[in-house]
Amino acid sequence: MRFKYKKKPKQADERQVFQYACWLLARRNYSRAELLEKFEKKYIPDAAVFAKVFAKLTKLNLQSDESFTEGFVRAHTHWGARRISIELKRRGIDEELIEINLPTEISEIENAREVLARKLHTSTSSVQAGEKIPSEYSEKQKLAAFLARRGFSIDVIREVLGF
């Protein structure tokens, strides 16, 4: 069995940390907390260097929690507001920023209908009209559980399934 040795963290040099941040951000958008976590794994924690790098990233408009949150919400329309909120909190985003970017209840109902239409292999309009939604209570319960796992609220589930 081979053992993997952990690499010793390097001394934080502003240029190296900035290059590492650019390399990470070229692949996907990161929140500030996620970047800080990555920096602390690779480099010996140095708050002054990390602060300078974050200031430079913000000045060059390469990283902001606002754009990260907007993109995350836009990319996860198949999730409900509750799940999106939990994921953003886990990634270190402020409550205020989450509340601003969360979908409204009307758009959340539309998203739930789209998710349900994909699940039932039908169109959104037939789900909206209630045509393809099963009438058996046990089948509705399964669909309700599916939507709940996706993070949709009980009110939205009731509206979509017609409970």
pLDDT one-digit tens code per residue, 103-154? 787 788 888 999 999 998 888 777 777 777 888 889 999 999 999 999 999 9
Q: Which domain holds residue 28?
A: 14-63
pLDDT at position 106, please? 74
Residue 9 lies in a domain: no
Residue 36: inside a domain: yes
- Whether 22 and 39 map to the same domain: the answer is yes
- When the pLDDT of each residue in the chain is averaged and rounded to a whole number, the result is 89
Residue 18 belongs to some domain of the structure: yes
**Do 43 and 25 share a structural domain?**
yes
Would you say the C-alpha torsion 22, 60, 50, 38 has a positive or negative sign? negative
Is 1 part of a structural domain of the chain?
no
Rg for the chain, CA atoms, rounded: 21
CA distances from 113 to 34, 70, 140 (A): 32, 22, 14
Class of residue 62 by CB neighbours under 10 A (exposed 0-12, middle 13-18, buried 19+) = middle
85, 45: one domain: no
Note whether 49 and 87 are same-domain residues: no
Report the predicted TM-score, pTM, of the whole model to 2 decimal places. Answer: 0.77
Separation CA 57–CA 48 (nearest Å): 14
